[in-house]
């Protein structure tokens, strides 16, 4: 299922979402420009679960083998379809979550979801030597937040050659179940040949659901509560 658009229109310009999309594409184009040198770059800055687990014993320590890759890998991708798919989901769902949380809190939320997603992937497959890269863990957190915040929004969805408008809760729960079943099918199977980091998706989604309840919501203007003095606007929380 491919989401094409949602029925929500944010009140504010989602400049954090736009900036994240631009930055991800800049990093991707830099990867492409490296040519044959791209693989060492990905190995150096991608999150490798085994290297993360043994970080304190390796040269460079925790900083080079765990902390830097944990952040850097959130902005790296493995192919054109990978980055286009991720950025499309971020564009569809990110603007409303940013509008709900406010710009700064949304950026913090995004990064925390990405870190949590990476940790889920490490825990699920600690012996893997394959670099994990991509924004999908953080974006999964955005999807979880959207489910909690806008469950009744409508999502125009492309399924094969057919178009359907479905409730957001249906689309996102179906998406999560697919990730969970795919991840569960790989439990105990060594993953040293690459593939989809399903547990990063699962972890990011769960963390997004939790954090959106914890984070304070943006105070917004509600013109339905304007009193007799036209210049006075009463503020309320979401």
| DSSP codes, the chain | -EEEEES---SS--HHHHHHHHHHHHHHHHHHHHGGGHHHHHHHHSB-HHHHHTGGGSTTHHIIIIIHHHHHGGG--SSHHHHHHHHHHHHHHHHHHHHHH-HHHHHHHHHHHHHHHHHHHHHH-TT--SPB--SHHHHHHHHHHHHHH-TT-EEEEEETTEEEEEEHHHHHHHHHHHHHHHHHHTTTS---S----HHHHHHHHHHHHHHHHHSPPPPEE-GGG--SSTT---EE--
Q: Which domain holds residue 18?
A: 2-236
CATH number for 131 = 1.20.1540.10
Q: How confident is the model at residue 194 (pLDDT cuts 50, 70, 90)?
A: low
Please give the average per-residue pLDDT across 177-188, as a whole number.
85
pLDDT of residue 189: 63
Examine the pLDDT at 226 and tell me if it is beyond 80: no
pLDDT of residue 227: 40
Please give the average per-residue pLDDT across 48-67, as a whole number.
92
Total domains in the chain come to 1
Q: Whole-model pTM?
A: 0.87
Examine the pLDDT at 40 and tell me if it is beyond 50: yes
């Amino acid at each position: 299922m491919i989401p094409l658009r949602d029925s929500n229109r944010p009140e504010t310009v989602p400049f954090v979402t736009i900036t994240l999309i631009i930055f991800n594409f800049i990093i991707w184009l830099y990867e492409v420009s490296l040519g044959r040198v791209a693989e060492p770059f990905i190995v150096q800055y991608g999150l490798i679960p085994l290297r993360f687990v043994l970080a304190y014993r390796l040269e460079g320590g925790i900083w080079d083998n765990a902390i830097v890759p944990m952040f850097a890998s959130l902005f790296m991708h493995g192919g054109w379809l990978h980055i286009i798919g991720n950025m499309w989901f971020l564009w569809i769902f990110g603007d409303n979550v940013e509008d709900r949380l406010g710009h700064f809190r949304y950026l913090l939320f995004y990064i925390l979801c990405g870190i949590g997603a990476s940790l889920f992937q490490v825990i699920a497959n600690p012996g893997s030597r394959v670099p994990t890269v991509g924004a999908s863990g953080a974006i999964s957190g955005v999807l979880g937040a959207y489910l909690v915040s806008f469950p009744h929004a409508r999502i125009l969805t492309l399924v094969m050659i057919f178009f359907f408008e479905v409730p957001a809760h249906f689309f996102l729960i179906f998406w999560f179940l697919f990730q969970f079943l795919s991840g569960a099918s790989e439990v105990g199977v060594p993953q040293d040949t690459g593939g989809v980091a399903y547990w990063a998706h699962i972890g990011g989604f769960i963390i997004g659901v939790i954090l959106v309840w914890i984070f304070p919501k943006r105070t917004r203007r509600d013109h339905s509560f304007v009193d007799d003095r036209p210049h006075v606007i009463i503020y309320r929380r979401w």
